[in-house]
Amino acid sequence: MPLPLIIGAAALATAAFGAKKGYDGYQKHSEADEIVKSAQHRYDRKKSIFDEQEKETSHALEMLGRKELDIGKSLGEFKTLADKLLQQLNAGRQNKLEIHIPKHELQRIENYSYTAIGVLGSVAGAGLAGAAAGFAVYGGVMTLGAASTGTAISSLAGAAATKATLAAIGGGSLATGGMGIAGGTAILGAAVAAPVLAIAGWAYNSHGEEALRNARKADQEVNAAIEKLARAIKQLAATEGYARKIKQALLSIHDQFSLYFDSLKDIDNFLEDVAGRNADIDAALSNFNDEILRIIENGYALAAILVDVITTPIFKLKKEGQEIAKDGNGTPIMETNADGSMILNDTELEKALTEADARADAIESA
């Protein structure tokens, strides 16, 4: 065969081989693209479910926190009225009338009320939503603490009490909005970090085989991320369930408490009316001695139940010996699992809710 024909045939073969390689490369790039697109679709679909669940969980925690803060405010108002009526009952009496509620229970109720009022006094408007959600997660845990000086929060007043109560639940974080992140990273840590899916852009700068390798690696990362998202969704759903369950229990017991509080208000209004007519208030009071004491005792008993439920942590606390571990801001540190997610304190929560229900029923039937 003449040499030019041989060279021509070789050139054709080379061109055909190059075309084949180019086609193979194109196919590998196309396959890599399909893998990445499929992975992106699967991740986006699961992330959408996660985002919706996170939204629902954060809302449930916000509603729980708002109720807890509202309860704290009403407990403070109940104490103020109870103290006023007890003072009136004991005016001029040698043998003082007393309520039979342990002092440590009264102290817990008072401390909780100061904490809630302190938080409500430091946030307003849109800021309350985040603070309420954060309070549901962290507030109840630290609410019975003391000021950094060692002074009991309940012994402080005004601005000092507000500052101390905020410090007790990690006030620095709350004041700057950090504690407002109740869902997502606060509960789940880095468990839902998105995988790197920006493959297509740089894959074409590499050979087809390398693009395919990178796409498959990304696909594996997405599978791992989707598994984490599934666990995170389950965790958030369980948290939402407990937030709603706790709120329902608090609503029921607080309604029961409010009946006693309303009765106390009615008595106070009647006595105010008597005093306004310059009638014999001592005689009027004598008719209510036993009733006032019974109402105050039952009201405080229910208040103690409310505080016990609220201060049962939603998530398990990390302990250092017998003490709760805290970070530099004084915020309690929660135990976490392998994904970095907080661990629900389900056993203690169920126990607290069951006991609360039984104790409230006992007061109702007494």
CB-based contact 312:345 (threshold 8 Å) = yes
CB-based contact 35:216 (threshold 8 Å) = yes
Q: Has residue 328 been placed in a domain?
A: yes
CB-based contact 191:339 (threshold 8 Å) = yes
Closest CA to 243 of 149, 357, 133: 133
Q: Has residue 218 been placed in a domain?
A: yes
The per-residue pLDDT for 3 is 43
C-alpha pair distances (Å), 89 with each of 93, 268, 275, 284: 8, 12, 14, 10
How many domains is the chain built from? 1
Q: Has residue 312 been placed in a domain?
A: yes
Q: Which amino acid is at 257?
A: F
Q: Has residue 107 been placed in a domain?
A: yes
Q: Has residue 21 been placed in a domain?
A: no
The per-residue pLDDT for 201 is 46
Q: Which amino acid is at 282?
A: D
Give the model's confidence band at 180: pLDDT under 50 very low, under 70 low, under 90 confident, else very high: very low
Overall average pLDDT of the 232-239 stretch: 91
C-alpha pair distances (Å), 357 with each of 73, 179, 265, 302, 364: 22, 30, 25, 10, 11
Q: Has residue 305 been placed in a domain?
A: yes
Overall average pLDDT of the 82-111 stretch: 87
The per-residue pLDDT for 4 is 46
Better pLDDT: 116 or 256: 256
- 3-class DSSP state of 8: helix
Q: Has residue 95 been placed in a domain?
A: yes
pLDDT in tens, 182-215: 444 467 765 566 665 554 444 444 567 777 888 8
User: Cβ–Cβ contacts within 10 Å for residue 18, how many?
Assistant: 10
Query: Crossing angle, helix 289-310 and helix 346-365, to 10 degrees?
Result: 170
The per-residue pLDDT for 349 is 96
Residue range(s) defining the domain that contains residue 284: 58-365
% of residues, the chain, pLDDT over 90 = 31
User: Long-range contacts for 145-151 (Cβ within 8 Å, ≥24 apart)?
Assistant: 145/111, 148/330
Its pTM stands at 0.82
Closest CA to 283 of 291, 293, 292, 271: 271
The per-residue pLDDT for 132 is 81
Q: Has residue 50 been placed in a domain?
A: no
Pairwise CA distance, residues 135 & 169, whole Å: 8
Better pLDDT: 295 or 219: 295
Better pLDDT: 173 or 346: 346
Better pLDDT: 130 or 40: 40
pLDDT in tens, 281-318: 777 777 888 899 999 999 999 999 999 999 998 999 88
pLDDT in tens, 2-13: 544 444 444 444
- The region of weakest confidence among 43-52, 71-80, 198-207, 314-323 is 198-207
Burial (CB count within 10 angstroms: exposed 0-12, middle 13-18, buried 19+), residue 324: middle
Overall average pLDDT of the 92-115 stretch: 86
